[in-house]
Amino acid sequence: MTSRFLFGAAAAASLFLSSHALAEGHGPAVAQKEGLGKHLVDGAGRTLYVFKKDSPGQSACQGECLAKWPAYLAEGAPAGIDAKDLGTITRADGAKQSTYKGQPLYYFAADKAAGDAKGQGVKEVWFVVAP
């Protein structure tokens, strides 16, 4: 009985780890969360945000802002998102940043786990990205 349990636990752990590794290899995807609805996340399920003060194709978040709202750069193909809606800009500091429909994408440093969306509505200028 114990050996079956250990085998089952090992198989479940292996499946989790391989699916997690696959998820991280994908670009942005669409997630669903109660209270937020559909929104964009990265391949690991971390919530992506837009900054209301940005202009299409240009980031207004610099310096201390970037410490709290790190720029997102996609890796891999999108899942459930039209690739034509995704782009990349070169920021004023020379770094690359991904965009969705021209709007630069960010993480929120206070989001510690996949599914966190603590940045929604912060200072009424930060919002999750609705596809």
Q: Which pLDDT does position 25 carry in this prediction?
A: 52
Q: Which pLDDT does position 74 carry in this prediction?
A: 94
Instruction: From residue 80, give the alpha-carbon distance in Å to each of 4, 32, 41, 52, 108.
Output: 37, 12, 11, 24, 22
- Per the domain annotation, does 13 fall within a domain? no
Hunting for tokens 């003060």 — which residue is that?
53
- Per the domain annotation, does 20 fall within a domain? no
Q: Which pLDDT does position 3 carry in this prediction?
A: 41
Q: Which pLDDT does position 26 carry in this prediction?
A: 72
- Per the domain annotation, does 105 fall within a domain? yes
Please tell me the total count of domains within the chain: 1
Q: Which pLDDT does position 75 carry in this prediction?
A: 87
User: Using an 8 Å Cβ cutoff, are 111 and 41 in contact?
Assistant: no
Q: Which pLDDT does position 13 carry in this prediction?
A: 34
Which range of residues forms the domain containing residue 65? 27-128
Question: How many CA atoms are closer than 13 Å to the CA of 118, on its beta-carbon side?
Answer: 10
Report, as ranges of residue numbers, the positions in the chain whose pLDDT lies below 70.
1-25
pTM for the model:
0.80
- Per the domain annotation, does 71 fall within a domain? yes
